Homo-oligomer: A and B are copies of this chain.
């Protein structure tokens, strides 16, 4: 996707190619404090990649899976992909003016954030279906690219692709430097994340597993074949859908898995149930100053997004999963606040 990456780089906007920069010289995992979490990572990688180790894992089996929203980048106050869907509504209504007076598009067009936030799930699903399906896969890719270039998050006023966690970018690179293939396993849309995964995470499209609908093959008026995105959901890549998606798309059990919510529980269970040494880690959002603090496990306010429950915390503790405190384990959150 070299053409793609080039097309994504508008002149005036700074884009971070963090993985490549860190490959050249800088201390690995330098945004991690020297705490138990970092030690667990280094010990795991050492134990599974040093050929004399009894827990050595052959290179072809080295798979590490990473949730995206809340694990690799910011998920508050709303998943970026949902923001994308709302942002697409004006263009959609322009193309189909009859939608202007139909709910939920009418409410979205009014721009009343409180009313939008209260849209019931079936109405939200209508917005998602209308903005994520019905077009060709090439049109969709162009639409997402355009949005990534222009949209800014409400708090930091940065492109969403800059809201990745620097310690996790370093972690991806660290795993790859040790022969692991890194996969994103996200509840978000597979086609959506694939548009920027290679540029932002150095993860190629074929290593993105996400919620995914079918496509339909057809021909245009000149007889050229193309694929149209269907509303039919093939995989809801969340909760139990994550190990199911891993089997579908990878066909191997990961040796390491990273998440931050109840949506990642089954992926971590599935990972740890494999033979040999396995690593399971959960990011806890406990840093209201530098990012956000949410999830009841540590007495933080609950959130509809990225729920980290007490039950999940208890399971992590009882099963030896490691909880990463953003506040205590990371000395830096974003590349832009050095």
A residues near B, CB below 8 A? 1-2, 58, 60-61, 137, 190-191, 194, 198, 204-206, 208, 212, 214-217, 224-227, 234-235, 240-241, 243-244, 247-252, 266, 269-270, 273
Contact = CB atoms under 8 A, between A and B. Distances in A.
A144 to B, nearest CB: 13
A208 to B, nearest CB: 7
A248 B212 contact: yes
B270 A243 contact: no
Given A1-B252, A266-B217, A227 B198 contact: no
Nearest to A198: B60
B217 A244 contact: yes
Contacts of A225: 243, 266, 269-270, 273
A170 B111 CA distance: 60
Given A225-B243, A225-B266, 20 more contacts: A137-B247, A190-B248, A205-B250, A205-B252, A206-B249, A206-B250, A206-B251, A208-B251, A212-B248, A214-B248, A216-B244, A217-B241, A217-B243, A217-B244, A217-B266, A217-B270, A224-B273, A226-B273, A227-B247, A234-B248
Nearest to A224: B273
Contacts of A248: 190, 212, 214-215, 234
A208 B208 CA distance: 15
B224 A243 contact: no
A252 B217 contact: no
A2 B58 contact: yes
A271 to B, nearest CB: 9
Given A205-B250, A235-B234, A60 B244 contact: no
Given A215-B244, A225-B243, A205 B251 contact: yes
Nearest to A268: B225
Nearest to A251: B205
20 contacts: A1-B60, A1-B61, A2-B58, A2-B60, A60-B198, A60-B204, A194-B251, A206-B206, A208-B251, A212-B248, A217-B241, A217-B244, A217-B270, A224-B273, A225-B243, A225-B266, A225-B269, A225-B273, A234-B234, A234-B235
